[in-house]
Amino acid sequence: MRKVTVRLPATITGIGPGIHALGLAVGLYTTIEISARSDHQLIVDTAGEGAGHYSIGLRHPVVLALMRVFQQLERAPLGVHIRVQNDIPVDSGLGAEAAFWVAGVIGASNMIGRNLTRAEIVQLSARISPQPDNALAALLGGLSSGVMQAGTFLYRSLPVAAQRLVIVVPVIDDYPTRLITPDTIAWDDAAHNLRQLPLLIEAFRSGDLSLLSQMLDDRLINPRVRPRIPGYNHVRETARLAGASATTICSDGPALVAFAPKDHQQIADAMRAAFENAGVQSRAWVVPVDTQGVVLSAVQSG
């Protein structure tokens, strides 16, 4: 019987003006083991972050991805056993669901003996995943960018300097799982975002946190997200006073990411205290930029 184990990192795809244009992989992980069964059972075991958040049946994101790939490749095993050990907070702007979809794509291709290349997995994931930018970042690691063009997903890995980040996730019970983007935007705001993007990419390449801090002023999405995060301005200012060069919202939130040259744990503690002052509980991690992306292990037994 075939068994594949996939480890994928958390991802941030709404970094300042790089809304769904840049993806950054960070060092929080989900590990998913997918095994073929000789019967017709589907078994899903979940542990860690978000255990019980998703259906453990046909509506789980890993299962949805498996089924899509089985349909496209017109082959499937009799039964499947899925084990999820997830350390990425769900519905937080850190790409947990996208990682589940990618794991399903990789698992499905291995279950039926189609060992796809990474490039083929990128194309397949981009076509079926609801969040292709997160999927790309999880697969490649580091900093990446991609766009669907005439049915082909065009993408590149971009250079990024090694660094550690502070991730803080506030607990907001009524936070929307997906932000609704505006139908129209002001020309000046769109141009402002576009002008910043090349220098933001350069700041990541060089590790220039001073430049980075000046290139995170998104005028399209962040103004809609900030009011939904209690104490946001206070937390951001507290992070700055504790030593952070820049702080912004992860994707659609509510997680925040702070960039700093040092004192990362001090910054994390200060941000948590600031959220607590606003009446909001939160959790924090100090993590590196993940430059490896997907890690895969496949075995054949029996």
Read off the CATH number of the domain in which 171 is found. Answer: 3.30.70.890
User: What pLDDT was estimated at residue 249?
Assistant: 95
Residues 217 and 201 reside in one and the same domain: yes
Residues 21 and 134 reside in one and the same domain: yes
Residues 85 and 120 reside in one and the same domain: yes
Residues 169 and 141 reside in one and the same domain: no
Domain count for the chain, please give it.
Answer: 2
Residues 120 and 138 reside in one and the same domain: yes
Residues 7 and 140 reside in one and the same domain: yes
Alpha carbon distances (Å) from 243 to 167, 235, 253, 262? 14, 13, 22, 7
Select from 165, 144, 169, 240 the least CA-distant residue to 207.
165
- Residue length of the chain: 302
Residues 73 and 211 reside in one and the same domain: no
pLDDT at 230 over 90: yes
- The CATH number for 139's domain is 3.30.230.10
User: What pLDDT was estimated at residue 71?
Assistant: 85
Residues 187 and 138 reside in one and the same domain: no
Residue 179 pLDDT grade (very low, low, confident, very high; cuts 50, 70, 90) = low
Q: Does 183 or 91 have the greater pLDDT score? A: 91
Average pLDDT in the chain: 92
pLDDT at 298 over 90: no
User: What pLDDT was estimated at residue 180?
Assistant: 66
Report yes or no: 37 and 302 within 8 Å, Cβ to Cβ. Answer: no
* Amino acid letter, 150: A
Residues 145 and 189 reside in one and the same domain: no
Residue 301 pLDDT grade (very low, low, confident, very high; cuts 50, 70, 90) = low
Domain that holds residue 94: 2-158+290-300
Residues 170 and 232 reside in one and the same domain: yes
Residues 144 and 183 reside in one and the same domain: no
Residues 215 and 276 reside in one and the same domain: yes
User: What pLDDT was estimated at residue 302?
Assistant: 57
User: What pLDDT was estimated at residue 34?
Assistant: 93
pLDDT at 125 over 80: yes
The mean pLDDT value for 175-193 works out to 84
